[in-house]
Amino acid sequence: MSDPVERHRELVNLIREANHRYYVLNDPTLTDAEYDGLLAELLALEAEHPDLVTPDSPSQRIGAPPGEGFESVRHRASMLSLANATDEDEFAEWHRRCVDGLDGEEPLLVAEPKIDGLAVELVYSDGVLVQASTRGDGTTGEGILHNVRTIRAIPLRLRDGYPLEVIVTGEVFLEKENFLRLNRAQEELGEKVFANPRNAAAGSLRQLDPAITARRPLTFLAYNLVNASALGIAGHRESFGNLERWGLPVNGPLRVVRGVSEAEAFYDELLAGRGELAHEIDGMVVKVDSLAQRERLGTIARSPRWAVAWKFPPERAVTRLKTIAVSVGRTGVLTPVAELEPVRVGGVMVSSASLHNADEIERLGVLEGDWVEIQRAGDVIPEVVEPLTERRDGSEKLFSMPDRCPVCKEKVVKLTDEVAVRCVNLDCPAQVRERLRHFASRGAMDIEGLGAKVVDKLIDEGLVKNPADLYELTPELIEQLEGFAGKWAENLIAAIGESRGASLPRFIIALGIPHVGETTAEALAASFGNIGTLTGATEEELTEIEGVGPTVAAAIGDFFANPRNARLIERLKGYGIDPRREVTRKESGPLDGLTIVLTGSLGRPRDEMTALARDAGAKVTSSVSRKTDLVVAGPGAGSKLAKAGDLGIEVIGEEEFLRRLGEG
C-alpha cells in the first residue's frame, strides 16, 4: 500500500480539482460515483490516521454545529442592495444619472444575470476560508461559516496567486431541478415545502446543524470582489478574472455594454434565454466597470449609484382553478385559497394561491372551475391575475364564503369595518395551532425546533393547548412521542427555556394581538416598558403612539380585556416571562404632549422637521382636528391652515417653531 501521507495529499488534490472543474470550469472530468469513491477513501484514510486531517481537507466540509446559534458578524464593508429599474425608461434614467454624476463621461458598463438566491459574504485569509455571513441588515449579518463550508462550489482554500485577504460577495442558490427535488423530498417527509428557490436557500443556510445544510444541493456564484481597490484592481472584469484564477466560480454570462440600447439588447437576450439556465434569474444587473468611477458615484440610501437591477416582468402561466378552499388563521380570519392544477411559473411549481378575502374574489370575478392566469413576481407569492372568461363552459361555480368555520363549525362573524370574516371561537383548533406556531416563530419567541410539524404533534397528543403549556413540558413527556426521542427532546426543552429571555417587543409580537406587527410592538415596548403597564393603557394613551390609530388601539384594548388572555399573561409571568424595557420617551421635551401638524413649504426637509418635533416630545399628525394643539405653517399652506383658523388652533411659523425647540 502507498504511503498514507502521500495518498492523503493525492486524494485531497484530486477532490479539490474535481470540485474546481465541476463548479468553476463547468467541465467535470469525474463521474459522481468516482467522486464519491475518492471521498470515501479519504474519509477512511483519515479515520485511520486522524493526524492527517487539516481544516481545509474536503472531509471537513461538515463540521460540528456551533454551540450558541449564529454569532453576529460585522461586514468589512456594508453589504449594499441594488436600486431597481422595472423598464427601459427607468434604466435610461439610471444611466443618465450615472453620466451626470461623472460630469458627462459615459461609463463602460458590465451586465450580468441577477440571481434569485441569498447574498453571502466570504472572507479568505491567506487563501483559507475563515468567515462567511449573511447580509443581515447590511452592516451586521449572521455567521454561517459552518454551513457555507458544506457548499462544494465554495473552495475552502484558494488556488494560484491569491493575495493575503480576499473578501467576496455572491449568491447562494439552488438550481431549479434541485429545488424541485428538494421540495419533493420535503413533501415525502411531511416537512414544509419551500415557496421558491430563494426561500429554500435561505432556510438551508440558516440551519444550525451543518449536516442538514450539506444535504441541500446549494451552490454559489461570486459577483463582487469587495476589497478590489485595496488590491490595486481597476475594474469589475479584472475582479472576475482574478476571482476565477483563485478558484472561485463567478456569475455569468458577463457582457460589456455601452449605453442604453446595448444594455437593452442584452436584457432581451437574457430574458429570452432564462428558461435554458439551470438556475432561476429574475433580472439583469448592470454595473459601472471602473472602480475609480464607482468611487466618484458613491452610494445613496444603502444602494450604490453605480449599479442597478433591471428586473424581469413577473412570469405568468395559465391553469385551472379546481376549487376554492378556506383556511383559518391565527386570529380566526377565514382566507379563501385557490387550489390550482399544479403549473410551473418561473421555474417553480405552483398549486395554490391566496385569494385574500371575499371582496378580492368579487373584484377578480373568478369562479370555481375557471381557467385563470396566475403570476409570480420574484419572491412574491403566486397570485391570480384574472379568470379567462372566454374559456368557460358553464360548469363553473360561484363561490361564497361559508357562514360556519370550516374547522370548528361555529358560526363566523363579519365585523362591520373589516372585509374579513372571522371565526371567533378562541378554542377553534385551527386558531389554537396557528397561535402556537406564531408564538414559537422566528420573529416572536424564536423557539428553535418548534416548527409546524412539532406543534401539530404536541396539540394532537394533548400536551399543549396554549403557549403557557409549553413551559410545563419536560424531556420525558416529549420522549414518549413517537419519533421525538433522545437529544432532540432535550434540545427542544432547552430552546423553550431560553425563550424566557425574549425581549419585550418579541413577547408582544408573540402574544398575537391582531394588527400588532413588529413596528407597532417596538413602539409599544418603547412607550410602556412592560406588559403590566401596556395592559392598563387607555385608548387615549395608545393612540398617542406613532402608528397606533383607533383600530389598532381597539384591538389592543380588546385583547387585554379578554380574561383568557389575561390568564395567559399571568401564567407566563409565573414561568418567569415578563420582559422589561427602559422607556425611551423623553421625560420633558419642550413640546411634550402636544399634537402638532406641519404644513406648507418649510425650509428643512419634512422628515427632519418631523423628527425634531418627535424628539421634543410632540406627536406629529397629518390632519388638523380638535385634538391638534399647534400648526406649524410655511409658505403655500392651504386648507390645513384655514381649518386651524376655524378651530382656533395656535399657528406658528418655522422660525418660531425652531426657537421653541431651542434650535433656531
Catalytic residue positions, numbered: 114
Alpha helices in 253-325 (DSSP H): 259-273, 291-297
Window of 303-311, 400-408, 555-563, 610-618 that interacts with ligand IVH by CB under 6 A: 303-311
- Residue 221, H or E segment: strand 218-225
Smallest distance, ligand IVH to C-beta of residue 173, A: 9
> What would the grid cell of residue 447 be?
423557539
Among 286, 307, 447, 508, binds ligand IVH (CB under 6 A): 307
Distance CA 350, CA 360 (A): 20
Looking at the Cβ atoms of 166 and 445, the one nearer to ligand IVH is 166
Window of 60-68, 74-82, 578-586, 594-602 that interacts with ligand IVH by CB under 6 A: 74-82
Cis upstream peptide for 253 (omega within 30°): yes
Looking at the Cβ atoms of 83 and 337, the one nearer to ligand IVH is 83
Smallest distance, ligand IVH to C-beta of residue 138, A: 9
Smallest distance, ligand IVH to C-beta of residue 272, A: 18
Mapping DSSP to helix (H, G, I), strand (E, B) and coil, where does residue 166 land? strand
Window of 109-117, 350-358, 507-515, 613-621 that interacts with ligand IVH by CB under 6 A: 109-117
Window of 183-191, 301-309, 476-484, 502-510 that interacts with ligand IVH by CB under 6 A: 301-309
Please count the helices (runs of H) and the strands (runs of E) in the chain.
25, 24
Distance CA 131, CA 123 (A): 5
> What would the grid cell of residue 52 be?
492527517
Q: Are 131 and 147 in contact (CB under 8 A)?
A: no
> What would the grid cell of residue 640 be?
390645513
Is residue 46 at the binding interface for ligand IVH, with CB under 6 A as the rule?
no
Who's near 663: CB < 8 A, 6+ residues apart?
Answer: 612
Is residue 199 at the binding interface for ligand IVH, with CB under 6 A as the rule?
no
Q: Which amino acid is at 584?
A: T
Looking at the Cβ atoms of 173 and 399, the one nearer to ligand IVH is 173
Smallest distance, ligand IVH to C-beta of residue 226, A: 9
C-alpha radius of gyration, the chain, whole number: 29
Q: How remote is the C-alpha of 206 from its chain's centroid?
A: 12
Interface positions, 242-271, toward ligand IVH (CB under 6 A)? 251
Burial pattern 322-342, b for ≥16 Cβ within 10 A else e, equals eebebebbbbbbbbbebebee
Among 19, 147, 224, 628, binds ligand IVH (CB under 6 A): 224
Smallest distance, ligand IVH to C-beta of residue 635, A: 40
Window of 302-310, 401-409, 543-551, 619-627 that interacts with ligand IVH by CB under 6 A: 302-310
Among 15, 309, 445, 556, binds ligand IVH (CB under 6 A): 309
Interface positions, 110-149, toward ligand IVH (CB under 6 A)? 112, 114-115, 119, 135
Is residue 223 at the binding interface for ligand IVH, with CB under 6 A as the rule?
yes
User: If you search the block for the grid coordinates 406613532, which residue do you land on?
Assistant: 546
Looking at the Cβ atoms of 15 and 291, the one nearer to ligand IVH is 291
Strand ranges (E), 520-572: none
Q: What is the DSSP letter of 290?
A: B
Q: What is the DSSP letter of 657?
A: H
Looking at the Cβ atoms of 195 and 523, the one nearer to ligand IVH is 195
**CB-closest chain residue to ligand IVH:** 119
233: left (phi over 0), alpha (psi -120 to 50) or beta: beta
Interface positions, 596-625, toward ligand IVH (CB under 6 A)? none
Smallest distance, ligand IVH to C-beta of residue 309, A: 5
Smallest distance, ligand IVH to C-beta of residue 281, A: 8
Smallest distance, ligand IVH to C-beta of residue 300, A: 12
Distance CA 100, CA 296 (A): 11
Distance CA 219, CA 118 (A): 11
Smallest distance, ligand IVH to C-beta of residue 380, A: 14
Distance CA 226, CA 121 (A): 9
In this structure, are strands 315-328 and 334-345 parallel, antiparallel, or unpaired? antiparallel
Among 171, 370, 434, 654, binds ligand IVH (CB under 6 A): 171
Looking at the Cβ atoms of 81 and 533, the one nearer to ligand IVH is 81
- Of 177, 206, 180, the closest CA to residue 193 belongs to 180
Burial pattern 164-194, b for ≥16 Cβ within 10 A else e, equals ebbbbbbbbbbbbebbbebbeeeeeeeeeeb
Looking at the Cβ atoms of 84 and 491, the one nearer to ligand IVH is 84
Among 129, 243, 285, 572, binds ligand IVH (CB under 6 A): 285
Among 107, 143, 197, 304, binds ligand IVH (CB under 6 A): 304
Looking at the Cβ atoms of 120 and 412, the one nearer to ligand IVH is 120
Number of residues that bind ligand IVH (CB under 6 A): 16
Window 77-96: contact mask with ligand IVH (x via CB under 6 A): ---xxx--------------
Mapping DSSP to helix (H, G, I), strand (E, B) and coil, where does residue 112 land? strand
Distance CA 70, CA 523 (A): 27
Smallest distance, ligand IVH to C-beta of residue 171, A: 5
Distance CA 336, CA 323 (A): 10
Q: What is the DSSP letter of 235?
A: B
Looking at the Cβ atoms of 108 and 408, the one nearer to ligand IVH is 108
Looking at the Cβ atoms of 57 and 251, the one nearer to ligand IVH is 251
The values of phi and psi at residue 175, to 5°, are -70, 155
Binding site for ligand IVH (CB under 6 A): 80-82, 112, 114-115, 119, 135, 171, 223-224, 251, 285, 304, 307, 309
